[in-house]
Amino acid sequence: MAVLVKFICLLGLLVGVLNIAGLEAAGECGKSSPDNEAMKLAPCAAAAQDEKAPVSDSCCAEVKKMGGEPSCLCAVMLSNTAKASGIKPQIAMTIPKRCNLENRPVGYKCGPYTLP
């Protein structure tokens, strides 16, 4: 787990440098890239790898913030940062439901996955 946290921090630093350099364009998550937004979901790492792992309150809070923009949430869960962190998209897609979010994007098609 410590290696995962170090890797996420390193990716965050790299994404930050790219943001400062102005190499990022507006996309699914506004001016922030899905990879940058994925860094905010670090508290969700265990829950996104094991559907039986508990979902922390801090994870649910971050997912709730992104949940209003299903295209951003989808892009984050399928991002290179998420993949490199060992996130399993089919499990990550269940987090909004596991957090019991009332206004989650139910049935939203996200790549080959559908948000339950």
Q: Tell me, what's the pLDDT at 112?
A: 86
Instruction: With a cut of 70, say whether residue 114 has pLDDT above it.
Output: yes
What is the rounded average pLDDT of the residues 82-87?
A: 90
Rg (CA), the chain: 13
For the stretch 49-71, pLDDT in tens is 999 999 999 999 999 988 778 89
Q: Which of 43, 116, 48 is nearest to 79 (CA)?
A: 48
Q: What is the helix (H) or strand (E) element at residue 114, kind and residue range? A: strand 113-114
Annotated domain spans of the chain: 2-114
Distance CA 113, CA 87 (A): 14
pLDDT in tens, 11-52: 454 444 444 444 445 688 988 899 999 999 999 999 999 999
* Residue 51 Cα to chain centre, angstroms: 15
